Amino acid sequence: MHRSRFSAVVSPDRVVYLGLGSNVGDRTGYLREAIRRLEEKGLVLEAVSSAWETEPVGEILDQPDFLNAAIRVRSDLEPEALLDVLKAVEAELGRETGLPRHSPRVIDIDLLLMGDLEYESERLRLPHQETTSRRFVLAPLLELDPGLSLPDGTRLADAMSRLETELEGTAEGQDIRRAGPVMRD
């Protein structure tokens, strides 16, 4: 886990967890660059998980494996404004829009949790709807904060245990392995 030397400089009031993924090109490089640009846009980086490698899930399985990570940041932005920042960083890094869901991508940044906020709009749902159904989301989050819970009290460790039991013996394609650090010390 990497801790930013800048995390003590500013103390915005809300802890936010973001999920990052890439399966095109220099996957680790895209994760690092996304984190750097998020910091440039004012998010205060507190922690970065390891990179976790997973097979693609969804409708398009014939594509490279993903590297996924989670970061914990602090921000005083409102949910929609923060989503705009995430989408801007994706665009800056060359993320194509208008492609089918689960298509290959240079970067994907998801707003997973924003403190204990529950929020829903046309563009955004908090907590993210796939937080408890994807190992590649849960593993990095639990690495950052093993005691993390959703606003409704659901413990993510319990969600991971349930998911592992449900997937046991199936071909769901949610194999996951720690691939190493995202950030260099």
185 flagged as catalytic: no
* pTM for the model: 0.87
User: Which 3 state secondary structure label does DSSP give 2?
Assistant: strand
What percentage of the chain has pLDDT greater than the value 90?
A: 64
State yes or no: is 108 an active-site residue. yes
- With beta carbons less than 8 A apart as the criterion, state whether 3 and 104 touch: no
Selecting among 27, 72, 74, 95, the annotated active-site residue is 95
Q: Which residue has the tokens 């994807």?
A: 134
Q: Mean per-residue pLDDT for 6-20? A: 72
Residues 6-18, mean pLDDT to the nearest whole number: 68
Residue 161 CB contacts under 8 Å (≥ 6 apart), including other chains: none
User: Residues 72, 105, 134, 135: which is the catalytic one?
Assistant: 105
Domain boundaries, the chain: 14-181
Given CATH 3.30.70.560, say whether it is the number of domain 14-181: yes
pLDDT of residue 183: 85
Active site residue 105: yes
Cα three-residue angle 88-151-167, rounded to 5 degrees: 85
pLDDT digits (tens, 9 = 90+) for 94-109: 887 777 777 778 899 9
Q: Which pLDDT belongs to residue 169? A: 58
Identify the pLDDT of residue 9. Answer: 41
Written as six digits, the tokens of 146 are 């093993």
> Within 99-179, where are the H helices?
135-144, 156-167
